Amino acid sequence: MNNSAGQAERKISVLVIYAGLIPSVEISVLIPLRYLAQQGKIDLVAGAAGELNLKAVLPQCDLVVFSRCCMPHEYIVLDYVRQLNIPYVYDIDDNFFRLAEAKEPTQMFLQQEGVLDNLRAFISYAQLVKTGSEQLRQDMQAYNRNIVIHPYVFDFELISERTPFSKDEEGKIVIGYAGSLVHSKDLKNITDALASIARKYAPRVRFEFYGAKPEQSGKLDPKLLEISTFIRYQPDYASFIRDVSGRGWDIALAPLADNIANRSKTNNKYREYAACGIAGVYSNMPVYQSCVVDGENGMLADYTCQSWTEKIEELICNEELRKRITSNAYLDVRKNNHIDAVARKWYEDIILPYALDKKRYSIELRKKQLRKLRTVYTLRQYVNMSGKGKLQLLIIGIKSLAKKMLREKGVKK
């Protein structure tokens, strides 16, 4: 942004509205924007739609970022934003359309009436849609042509220094997996390969499963079970990263079932394993093909037991290969996903081009418009309410009006 001499760079007011405060929202949006706020480049307000004081924040907002929003109460806020002519960016990292088709149990909210229509509206009306994968970009293009694949941040301040390539106290090579319980089905696809490794290399290796556990149609292989440790998942993202980085893993696994929903995901596991100094074996899918060069900064395994067994074996038997992969991956993520780099791209590629100049709107006029819009929505709710609900709303309205009249007359309660 070019400024005339002596003119201070304007501070842009950014409002983030998220569907839920989950790790992907943190690394996609909140961490880089908090960083910009700390640098004094933006004023940042963030929260769920039902938590925010919209009367206070919307009138002075230059840019809104909606993250994963599609529910009815969030659509009301979208309508406010559009009526006030506030530009907005829509951030999405999961392919909700594909998940809805698959009736994914963890995403049943997508089956609610009107939710997918709301999602299409959020995407269609956005000035910019921000995604993290090529597959997701392609699917979203049916509703909006202005879509970018934008890097996600890794906050290196979350991890402490650790000695690279360190082994456990018994000198064994530690092979780990980190992910929530919902990812057990991804591990299931490589359980036979892990069992094969356990039977062949048991004196030299051990396994740690952080959160998800490998599944099998029958009982888990006895040898794999014998040399495995199961660790409770830590839902707090910062604690999760610190725990994983401190475990001293030599090899980490990132299997993904091959389907469109997974092809739409971002390369979270690569960023996390690389930053934590761990050599990773990743599913040979677009999500990892976009960032991993096989044998250089990771290993890409095909969707077969043989391929996963061979790739893990290579890392077990070749310490120099582990060292090269660990070093190359760390440097790659340090360069492209460090908070400095990602925050700068947010500012230069998204905020500056799309934020509204404060000279182009009146805060007072926006406040009046917002009051009218809120009144309209209240009346709509009233019309659709039951008789009991209407009576309760009338009582609240009468009390509010009485208090206002008393204040105007200077009468204390």
pLDDT at 388: 53
The CA distances from residue 254 to 105, 172, 176, in Å, are 22, 21, 9
Beta bridge partners of 129: 90, 147
pLDDT at 218: 55
The predicted-structure confidence for 240-257, as pLDDT tens digits, reads as follows 899 899 889 999 999 988
- Residue spans of the domains in the chain: they are 12-153+339-361, 157-336, 364-406
Considering the domain 157-336, what is its CATH architecture? Answer: 3-Layer(aba) Sandwich (3.40)
Scanning the structure block, which residue is given the tokens 């509703």? 143
Mean per-residue pLDDT, 185-204:
90
The predicted-structure confidence for 152-173, as pLDDT tens digits, reads as follows 999 898 886 554 444 556 789 9
Q: Is the pLDDT confidence value at 96 over 80?
A: yes
Mean per-residue pLDDT, 328-338:
96
Mean per-residue pLDDT, 295-302:
97
Q: Do 12-153+339-361 and 157-336 come out as alike in CATH topology?
A: yes
Q: Is the separation of the CB atoms in 96 and 116 below 8 Å?
A: yes
Q: Which CATH fold would you assign to the domain 12-153+339-361?
A: Rossmann fold (3.40.50)
- Among 73, 141, 135, 65, CA closest to 99: 135
Strand 147-149 relative to strand 128-131, pairing: parallel
Q: Is the separation of the CB atoms in 56 and 374 below 8 Å?
A: no
The predicted-structure confidence for 33-78, as pLDDT tens digits, reads as follows 999 999 999 999 999 998 999 988 999 999 999 999 999 999 999 9
- Among 211, 242, 222, 226, CA closest to 172: 226
Longest dimension (CA), the chain: 86
Q: At what angle do helices 115-125 and 72-83 cross, to 10 degrees?
A: 30
pTM (two decimals) = 0.82
pLDDT at 1: 38
